Structure 1
């Protein structure tokens, strides 16, 4: 073998060895950051074990029960940051779940966590808590979970309030981008090496798009810590939810007319994440007993900017 070929082989081996060492270092750094985040931002609610899943939830107030289901990326603390949780807890018992894999809730790999599967687990948790009825509020992807609860009720769903939801299948670039991180093995490698770096670079822009055209409120960062969001476990949940979103909407969209409880639909006219007309507007047409409120000049996180009107609608529904 010539000296040139030998040198080239040794160089490739050195590069491969260096990449392996760097990957191991990144994985260790990512794991350390995740452990530190969970130590620095411990759970503030309670836990319940349901069907082999440990769910974390916030539970405050007394009166008619209102259940809050957050969207993708975030956790139950999003409703605290918006002020909606505190507002409702003055006159209601408010339960806000960390959906499986988010916040401090587990997400076992043994099942596919479609919105329908999440709806089943949450309803079982409510029954374990001794509850028989509730008004359910969903934001963004949480709206799909809320709709699934109404379509396959395991307790008395008194009404739905759906905020900035995604209900009908469409092509989405964010799903294609998230898909690799949801894959077994490959996704595990990515979430401990490349993905945390890329996610940190994109995090600010992603959050800005969620709140656009308004500025990101300080309360969001205070209650939804970036380091909890960027843990590999929550990144897996975010990616898997994105991957399940379109199939779930496709399987459920033909059944929305079966929902027979009062439905209040809220959306922002300038939502940069979900198209308001083709999603919330279409859902309003498909559910006869629904009411639609489109907030002019607001984006995807309308529960921050108009918590008063949304809270009033939820209270009216819960007290009926």
Structure 2
């Protein structure tokens, strides 16, 4: 069970106890890989945690980019949150339909914008439903709320910064993809991408940080997993994955461990694997 922290991770019990708090805002950030052929918004409309707003990761993004769901501009983020009735003074809880998957991405997006009163629901919607907590299919009543932001640029890295870190070794680069993708043993799920990983990166599969019920392992357990993978936790970390979603699970785990010097490579393998002039490695790190 989560040790409840409204800035990182809260339990279903915590959310049930606080669900009617006037300044609580719940976000459903469910997102599925395209190959799963599931409709996240449709599933939200069929049933969600009472009062939850749907956070569309693909729409609340930089749609000028050819890369998937890149971080939007500050102005777009603020505009979308205002329309969703999410703003200053709110405690936010974000969940998804997988347990802990895409919710961590939205947690990271808020943190990048300088908003710290946000937590991921441990175990997500599956655990909430399994425990018999209320579910509704009603749209939320929304009132505009002003949001101020303070973008934390150190929490995101671009391809040039990652390439430099790969060469210099001043950061530890950690890849959240499955081991067979990291090694380059299987084709990438997105067409046109090379197989392999960023040189000098380490592999911590995001699922290894989770318990069978979809909750996150304890900070001590996640620390041991990072260390066993050869991650030098004394260095600042750059976190990568397929498209910047599950890298945020690593960020959440590190934050719970008390390691705050972490950043997400937003383009991740969707960018690195696309361009033939960027070096790759195959096999184990």
TM-score, with structure 1 as normaliser? 0.30
Larger Rg: 1
Q: What TM-score comes out, normalization by structure 2 length?
A: 0.33
Instruction: Name the structure with the higher helix share.
Output: 1
